[in-house]
Amino acid sequence: MTPRGPARGKSKARADRKQPAAKKTGASKQKAPRKRRLPPPDPARVAELLARLEANDPNPECALDHANPFELIAATILSAQCTDERVNMTTPALFARFPDAASLAAAEQEQVEELVRSTGFFRNKAKNLRGMAARVTEVFGGEIPQAMDDLLSLPGVARKTANVVRGVCWRLADGVVVDTHVGRISRRWGLTAETDPVKVEAELMALVPQAQWIDYSHRVIRFGRRTCDARKPLCGSCELADLCPRIGVDDAAS
């Protein structure tokens, strides 16, 4: 679908923007949105927003480079508190050295630490990677399991990581993956005022059709990279501007 001009839908976004925009301060360019009650988003606006996201990005791919479930689960463990770009720079050497769960399980802690050092929290991540690989090797025959409970039994794997792996590898949707970008942009769109990822996920699951749960996250992350940057969103040229109440966005920053 072709993006529509700002004149057509502005009233829709405004009608949905009962709450005042965040107050500006001279000292802060990007003010974090304060949690507050929002009126339920207009279903027509949400539907149009989802339709445009899909039209503009019909086949979204996971931002983490991977060739199989083992690589994706390892990359997702490394992505905690780290950018996807940094993870993608780190994993080629890691997977060249340890291409599967068995080889990673047999690795020395120091070897893995050295390879993942640049992703931050590297000691804990190396420990989780080795622990994950050991359990996959010993309990699951070297294959990453599909079942949520089995995934959650792996060291370093919480619900978000399990959702990423199940969604990307097997198109199994248990929820909406909420990382910092998905939470931030969904708040700007007025789809949630929550900051707790679990609560954000619950609200998004009520708004986004289940068939789109997996792709919604990928699309929002890619949209954030392309247009809706955390510090400098390109509101002036944004294809969703007429649908966006820009909650928490400082005009001076965009």
**Is 56 one of the binding residues for ligand SF4 (CB under 6 A)?**
no
One-letter identity of residue 56:
N
Chosen residue from 27, 235, 250, 251 binding ligand SF4 by CB under 6 A: 235
Minimum CB separation of residue 44 from ligand SF4 in Å reads: 17
Q: Mask: binding to ligand SF4, 201-230, rule CB under 6 A, as x and -?
A: --------------------------xx--
d(CA 76, CA 156): 9
- Are the C-beta atoms of residues 234 and 185 closer than 8 Å to each other? no
Enter the tokens of residue 160.
């978000």
**Is 241 one of the binding residues for ligand SF4 (CB under 6 A)?**
yes
Enter the tokens of residue 205.
């699951």
Non-local (6+) Cβ contacts of 207 within 8 A are 41, 46, 191
Q: Is position 179 annotated as part of the catalytic site?
A: yes
**Is 126 one of the binding residues for ligand SF4 (CB under 6 A)?**
no
Residue with smaller CB distance to ligand SF4, 74 or 249: 249
- Per DSSP, the residues of 153-186 read TSTT--HHHHHHHHHHHH---SS----HHHHHHH
One-letter identity of residue 195:
T
Chosen residue from 157, 249, 250, 251 binding ligand SF4 by CB under 6 A: 249
**Is 49 one of the binding residues for ligand SF4 (CB under 6 A)?**
no
d(CA 246, CA 242): 10
Active-site residue (options: 160, 215, 242, 250): 160
Residue with smaller CB distance to ligand SF4, 66 or 218: 218
Q: Mask: binding to ligand SF4, 162-191, rule CB under 6 A, as x and -?
A: --------------------------x---
Minimum CB separation of residue 239 from ligand SF4 in Å reads: 8
How many H-runs (helices) and E-runs (strands) does the chain carry? 12, 0
Residue ranges in contact with ligand SF4 by CB under 6 A = 188, 227-228, 233-235, 238, 240-241, 244, 246, 249, 254
What amino acid positions are annotated as catalytic residues?
160, 179
